[in-house]
Structure 1
Amino acid sequence: MSNLALHQVTKQFGSVKILHGIDLDVRDGEFVVFVGPSGCGKSTLLRIIAGLEASSSGEIRLDDRLVNDVSAADRGLAMVFQSYALYPHMTVKQNLAFGLENSRMAKAEIEARVMEAARMLLIEPLLNRKPGQLSGGQRQRVAIGRAIVRRPGIFLLDEPLSNLDAELRVVMRAELAALHKRLDATMIYVTHDQTEAMTLADRIVVLRDGRVEQVGTPLELYNKPANRFVAGFIGSPRMNFIDAQVSQSGLDVGGRSHALPSIELALGTPVTVGVRPHELDITDVEDGTLALEITLVEQLGAETVLHGKTHLGGMFTLTAPGQGRFAVGDRIGVALPSQVHLFDAQGQAVASH
Structure 2
Amino acid sequence: MACSYLRFTAPNNRCIQLIDLFNNYGGAYQAKQGGSFYGLDNQSQLIVLFISSRVNNYFSISSPQCHGGFVRQYKHESTVLGCSMKFSVFFPPEAETRPVPVLYFLSGLTCTDENFMQKAGAQRVASEHDIAIVTPDTSPRGLGIPGEEDSWDFGTGAGFYLNATAEPWSKNYQMYDYILNELPATLRGLDKNLDVETASIFGHSMGGHGALTLALRNPASFKSTSALAPICNPSKVPWGQKAFRNYLGANEEEWKQYDATELVSRYSGPSFEVLIDTGTDDEFLKEQLHPWAFEEAAAGKLHVKSNLRVGYDHSYFFIATFVEEHIKFHAKHLKKE
Same fold by TM (over 0.5)? no
Taking CA–CA contacts closer than 8 Å with sequence separation of 6 or more, which of the two structures ends up with the larger relative contact order?
A: 1
Greater Rg, structure 1 or structure 2?
Answer: 1
Which of the pair is proportionally richer in helix?
A: 2
Per the normalisation by structure 1, the TM-score is 0.24
